[in-house]
Amino acid sequence: MAALLALAAGCASDPAPLPALDLQPEPPAPRAVREPGGGFIGSPADRRFHRLDCPLAADIDPARRELWASPYEALDAGYSPCRRCEPMLGWR
């Protein structure tokens, strides 16, 4: 019985403090294009279209960007899909 009381007394001590959590949200990707509407962006210079999160899309001149809601609209406009971000994946 004495051993049980000694064990219980050792467990009653204050636990070690927990480390503080950093709850700050992560900043957005630095090269992601943020455009209202549309999910695909194209460059008339090279006639390719990209997903908005493609790193190559960030290099497109904002004054010359073209936006589409689906990749088929870009194909109809004569643009080719980017080989890096593969914007046709997941579309039928």
Buried b (16+ CB within 10 A) or exposed e, 4-39: eeeeeeeeeeeeeeeeeeeeeeeeeeeeebeeeebe
**Phi then psi for 33, rounded to 5 degrees?**
-85, 130
Find the CATH number of the domain harbouring 48.
3.40.10
Q: Is 40 inside a domain boundary?
A: yes
Domain span at residue 79? Answer: 31-86
How long a stretch of residues is the chain? 92
List, edge to edge, every strand of the sheet that includes 40-43: 66-68, 40-43, 48-51, 80-81
Residue 7 vs residue 60, higher pLDDT: 60
Q: Is 50 inside a domain boundary?
A: yes
Digit-coded pLDDT (tens) for 22-33: 777 776 555 555
Eight-class DSSP state of 23: -
Digit-coded pLDDT (tens) for 39-61: 899 999 999 999 999 999 999 99
Count up the domains in the chain and report the number. Answer: 1
